[in-house]
Structure 1
């Protein structure tokens, strides 16, 4: 894969926290404009890896390059949209005030800011709750607002860590439909999940277990290579569990 084709490159990436090694030599390439899924159980290292890609954390050793730039680098935040597992918003402010605050951080002002607020709140179906304090939102509504904030500045790379947890199936489908449209329009999307039907919607997957990347490929190829009827069976196969 050439530099022009790759959006994300990691080389021999390790991450240690005190005596615990969480990531073990991750080599990964994500193409521009694709939806790439990191599939693995809780505690497998998915969140740690996407934080390194987003520039929120730094590898103990190894290299992380995003859009041709060595990470972490503060100036890259305007090119990246990041939705964490935990919702980071000002609960005493309304959704509109949160969106105005984060939009301004990304350089949005005036009519452009207003336009983007309307567009993202329409997408996550929260327009009627725009002036409500975030502290009064349900958990699912907060997840939807977090996604809206990540999309505000139309980033080149969108990083979503378990984005649909607590979201109803109908809205989950509409969000994935939108991710497909964003990808077609040129956005690269890196998403973590442990939900198999969401993993099927990704162009390619990286299966991660105990901090190691155990397989990479399209959902169909991963199933075919292992003779599996499902991604769950394929994951167990690559993880060394044989039936």
Structure 2
């Protein structure tokens, strides 16, 4: 176990790396859902987990918090062994699933008080009231959870997760289907929690959310393909990119797609991003198009979304 700072609550010593795993693998039937995955998450970080549907993100999260046992690999979570101390890990982890899992026919207050009692939180009534105030749920505390909008349900679910004062928060696509304003407010809460020392691992499909994370990891079909800060992941992709506007973007994208040297074609509104790993081959490929008067070309920097699409294009779908 890596030595870390003492936890003022006396619960579990806080290691410098809250998550350290090596070679994690998980198979269901004849399908390898997670293959030889290694990662480290520092204490107090917001760590983003990106990848397409079916890529193994949820399976990895469940292995980290002790809900699934890996078939191979080793590691620790909160300084505890994920193979032999999974029960102890679960006592100190808040896990927010994709699906709203609280009681729809109980009020906001009743849900929070129930969770507080289940986890043995001292003075459940006061703890629930504090959570209501902290997450901006005041005035909705008597509203039935099932009648809340998606954004308010996510706030309630987050409040339930942090009631037992976890040391690690695992959020599995927490803002899927939530409007942009609610997503921004939700992330403000996440950053406030991280500023207090809580470590957060969050899976997401949204590039703007990934850019709010201290570090990110990209997993595709069970394999970890990239990790680091957003800047490191973008630079490590080695993409050369151009933006082109004018004409018919959809028709232009179809023309460019099969050109040698073009590995990425992604329409963005009225423009098209064109990319490849060989800058010279890419420039040769687009040269015949640059003489068209209706088109305006601009050398551009690759975005995280460009990298995401490029990694997806080069990944092997293990469910095919």
Structures share fold, TM-score greater than 0.5:
yes
SS of residue in 1 equivalent to 2:201 = strand
Mark the CA change 1:64 to 1:104 in structure 2 (over 3 Å): closer, same or farther: farther
* Alpha-carbon separation, structure 2, partners of 1:181 and 1:136: 27
User: 2:303 matched to 1:230?
Assistant: yes
SS of residue in 2 equivalent to 1:127 = coil
What is the alpha-carbon root mean square deviation over aligned residues? 2.2
Work out which of the residue numbers 46, 71, 75 in structure 2 matches 1:35: 46
* Alpha-carbon separation, structure 1, partners of 2:179 and 2:48: 20
* Alpha-carbon separation, structure 1, partners of 2:311 and 2:99: 29
**For residue 31 of structure 2, what is the aligned residue in structure 1?**
20
SS of residue in 2 equivalent to 1:153 = coil
* Alpha-carbon separation, structure 2, partners of 1:84 and 1:37: 15
Larger displacement relative to structure 2 (137-146 or 191-200): 137-146
* Alpha-carbon separation, structure 2, partners of 1:172 and 1:146: 14
User: 2:155 matched to 1:144?
Assistant: yes
User: 2:202 matched to 1:191?
Assistant: yes
Q: CA contact under 8 A between 1:124 and 1:171: conserved in structure 2? A: no
SS of residue in 2 equivalent to 1:205 = strand
SS of residue in 2 equivalent to 1:129 = coil
User: 2:59 matched to 1:48?
Assistant: yes
Shift of 1:91: 2.2
Shift of 1:156: 0.9
SS of residue in 1 equivalent to 2:59 = helix
Work out which of the residue numbers 89, 114, 135 in structure 2 matches 1:101: 114
Larger displacement relative to structure 2 (231-240 or 173-182): 231-240
Structure with a larger share of its residues in helix: 1
Higher RCO (C-alpha under 8 Å, 6+ residues apart): 1
* Alpha-carbon separation, structure 1, partners of 2:168 and 2:311: 28
Aligned length: 240
| Structure with greater Cα Rg | 2
**For residue 85 of structure 1, what is the aligned residue in structure 2?**
98
Q: CA contact under 8 A between 1:80 and 1:155: conserved in structure 2? A: yes
Q: CA contact under 8 A between 2:35 and 2:222: conserved in structure 1? A: yes
Larger displacement relative to structure 2 (15-24 or 190-199): 15-24
Mark the CA change 1:120 to 1:230 in structure 2 (over 3 Å): closer, same or farther: farther
Q: CA contact under 8 A between 2:50 and 2:219: conserved in structure 1? A: yes
SS of residue in 1 equivalent to 2:105 = coil
Q: CA contact under 8 A between 2:151 and 2:183: conserved in structure 1? A: no
Query: What do residues 14-71 of structure 1 show as CA deviations (whole Å, max 9, x unaligned)?
Result: 1111222110111111111111000111111111111111212211222241111012
* Alpha-carbon separation, structure 1, partners of 2:201 and 2:126: 25
* Alpha-carbon separation, structure 1, partners of 2:188 and 2:107: 27
> How high is the TM-score relative to the length of structure 2?
0.69
Shift of 1:181: 2.2
* Alpha-carbon separation, structure 2, partners of 1:28 and 1:148: 28
* Alpha-carbon separation, structure 2, partners of 1:162 and 1:47: 9
Work out which of the residue numbers 156, 167, 172 in structure 1 matches 2:167: 156
Shift of 1:187: 0.8
